[in-house]
Amino acid sequence: MTGSPALPSAIKPTFKSSFRPFDEGARVCPGSELAKIENLVILSSILRKFEISLERDHPPLKLVTQLAQAPGSDIKLLFKPRMAL
> Could you tell me the pTM of the whole model?
0.52
- Which pLDDT does position 45 carry in this prediction? 94
- Which pLDDT does position 24 carry in this prediction? 63
More confident residue, 14 or 58: 58
What contacts 3, CB < 8 A, 6 or more positions away? 9, 12
Region 24-47 average pLDDT: 85
Run of H or E including 39: helix 32-49
Give the C-alpha separation, 50 to 64, whole Å: 28
* Position 28 pLDDT exceeds 90: no
Strands 77-81 and 69-71 come out as unpaired
Give the C-alpha separation, 63 to 14, whole Å: 38
- Which pLDDT does position 31 carry in this prediction? 82
